[in-house]
Amino acid sequence: MRCKFCGREMMKVVTPFRRPVKGEMMEVKDIEVYRCPGCGATFFPKETIKHIGRKTGERLLKVAKERGRIRDEKEHLRKMREKAVKDIEDAIRNGEIKKREDAPFKIFT
């Protein structure tokens, strides 16, 4: 895989991923990314983004439940899915994207 910024060959690295989300420090261990030795750009493969999304979602759900923000987990997940579909439909209507497949994969929502 070549760096889209400087064209050098990127290297696969395994690294922990840390980022604060909604006041919680999210950590996902051992994610695989590609890093450019030239300019330092990082590329997240689709599978890695999915993995981070899944792990982060599970953790946020757990925290929300512990704090009593969610009473019904299934109902909450159903609403989140409906919102994701609606967001994509809105983006298509607004001309931001042309079709569903163009929707950027959101890591944190």
Binding site for Zn ion (CB under 5 A): 3, 5-6, 36, 38-39, 41
Closest CB 1 distance from Zn ion, rounded Å: 11
Considering beta carbons, is residue 3 or 88 the nearer one to Zn ion?
3
Considering beta carbons, is residue 43 or 55 the nearer one to Zn ion?
43
Which residues partner with 108 through β-bridges? Answer: none
Closest CB 34 distance from Zn ion, rounded Å: 10
Burial of residue 56 (number of CB atoms within 10 Å: 0-12, 13-18, 19+): buried
Considering beta carbons, is residue 17 or 34 the nearer one to Zn ion?
34
- Residue 39 · residue 32 · CB < 8 Å: no
DSSP letter string, 72-103? -HHHHHHHHHHHHHHHHHHHHHTTS-SSGGGS
Closest CB 33 distance from Zn ion, rounded Å: 13
